[in-house]
Amino acid sequence: MISESPAPDWSKRYKIEVVRNGTDLSLRLAGEFRLQNLTAFKREFDQYFREKGVLYVVIDFSEITYIDSAAALAFIQIKKRAATQNIDCSLINLNDESKGILSVIHDDALTRPPIKHPDTDNSVFSQIGQSSLFIARDFISFMAFIGELVVAMAYTIRHPQSLRVKDIFFYMRRAGVDGLPIVGLIGLLTGLIIAFMSFLQLKQLGANIYVPALVSFAMLKELGPLMTAILVAGRSGSAYAAEIGTMVVNEEVDALATMGFDPIRFLAIPKILATVVVVPILTIYSVCFGILGGMIIGVTSLDLTVSTYFTQSIKTIKVFDIATSLVKAGVFAALIAAIGCQRGFQVRAGAQDVGKFTTSAVVTAIFLIVVADSVFAIMFYYMK
């Protein structure tokens, strides 16, 4: 059997025979009238109705071999428009097929206005207003979420057996172990860049010997915690939001609630605990790689030996600095995980919501990390 070509020329599948008799116009239709040639035959009809002096139009369906609902609708519209031009238009010789199709096209449905109107108020003021409201509501809901987290945490401390240790290890692996390669690589490259940039400046003063100290100081105090936190926000914060969001969409969160579990305790606490444990370790790991990156420049371009570079590196580091770095990393981790979980719970319906809140989880987490970092910078300055 020969198959039909995938793209037939639909305009050749229909014919309109026109007979003009004074004020009468007779149109005999033959062939197939369908979506694919609707634009073509509608245009033809437009011409006939524009002919001067036509008062009566008869459209004869007798030789139509196929008509679909879109074409039937087009004839109804043609008839309607003829009425507005004071032309008497009638459809004759309809077969059962055409009658059937015409019977399901309700005039009421065609003219009924939409029940709901799309939001059209897009003026600058309404946008500013809406965004402000959104930010305010967002802040309140985050505070409420923190409150719920504290309650859930208190419950977990009082009932340690309710803690799902298996989950904690799972997320420690996800956020920590699986992130080692990228965190190490970024740490190494960051250290390399600082070493290289500072070397270019310091060599003019003959102060090459300060490069190791600069690298280790910068990595430990700022760049290590910050870079690690940003990476974890991108890797794990987004994953938490997407995971919980999809669970909301699939009604799994509702199922948890009806089984008597507090979804926050069940889903958020293991993730937050795992992240808080893992991120400080990742930070130290990243700092080590940063120092290693600096060492590559130190040994190759500064004529320092590995042992000199190393002793110079750790000379400036104080225990206080390591402690503050760990505290910072812990706080960043808590922020990332909390935001990720909260955004996940904010998902209401649909795939688009999951995407929106996953994006928001990462953006908000990075924003809060930078805000928290500024606060820490001032705080630690006065603590010394």
Chain residues in the site for another protein (CB under 8 A): 1-4, 6-7, 34-36, 38-39, 42, 68-70, 73-74, 77, 97, 100-101, 103-106, 108-110, 112-118, 348-352
Residue number with CB closer to another protein (129 or 350): 350
Tell me the closest approach of the beta carbon of residue 17 to another protein, in angstroms: 24
Residue type at 179 in one-letter notation: G
CA 75 – CA 77 distance, rounded (Å): 5
Which run of H or of E encompasses 334? helix 319-346
DSSP, residue by residue, 3-58: PPPSS--GGGGEEEEEEEETTEEEEEEEEEE-GGGHHHHHHHHHHHHHSTT--EEE
Tell me the closest approach of the beta carbon of residue 2 to another protein, in angstroms: 7
Tell me the closest approach of the beta carbon of residue 280 to another protein, in angstroms: 39
CA pseudo-torsion sign 377, 142, 366, 125: negative
Tell me the closest approach of the beta carbon of residue 10 to another protein, in angstroms: 10
Residue number with CB closer to another protein (84 or 103): 103
- Please state whether beta strands 24-33 and 14-21 pair in parallel, antiparallel, or not at all (unpaired): antiparallel
Backbone angles phi, psi at 21, to 5 degrees: -140, 90
Residue number with CB closer to another protein (235 or 356): 356
Strands (E), the chain: 14-21, 24-33, 56-67, 88-92
171 by Cβ neighbours in 10 Å (0-12 / 13-18 / 19+) ranks as buried
Q: How far is CA 303 from CA 209, 268, 300, in A?
A: 10, 50, 6
CA 207 – CA 198 distance, rounded (Å): 10
Look-up of token digits 């010997």: 209
Tell me the closest approach of the beta carbon of residue 200 to another protein, in angstroms: 50
Residue number with CB closer to another protein (205 or 349): 349
> What are the strands of the beta sheet with 24-33, ordered from one edge?
14-21, 24-33, 56-67, 88-92
Residue number with CB closer to another protein (53 or 118): 118
Tell me the closest approach of the beta carbon of residue 50 to another protein, in angstroms: 18
Name which of 219, 237, 333 is nearest 284 in CA terms. 219
Tell me the closest approach of the beta carbon of residue 97 to another protein, in angstroms: 6
Residue number with CB closer to another protein (6 or 260): 6
Residue number with CB closer to another protein (74 or 227): 74
Residue number with CB closer to another protein (91 or 168): 91
Tell me the closest approach of the beta carbon of residue 19 to another protein, in angstroms: 27
CA 102 to chain centre: 44
Residue number with CB closer to another protein (108 or 121): 108
Tell me the closest approach of the beta carbon of residue 204 to another protein, in angstroms: 57
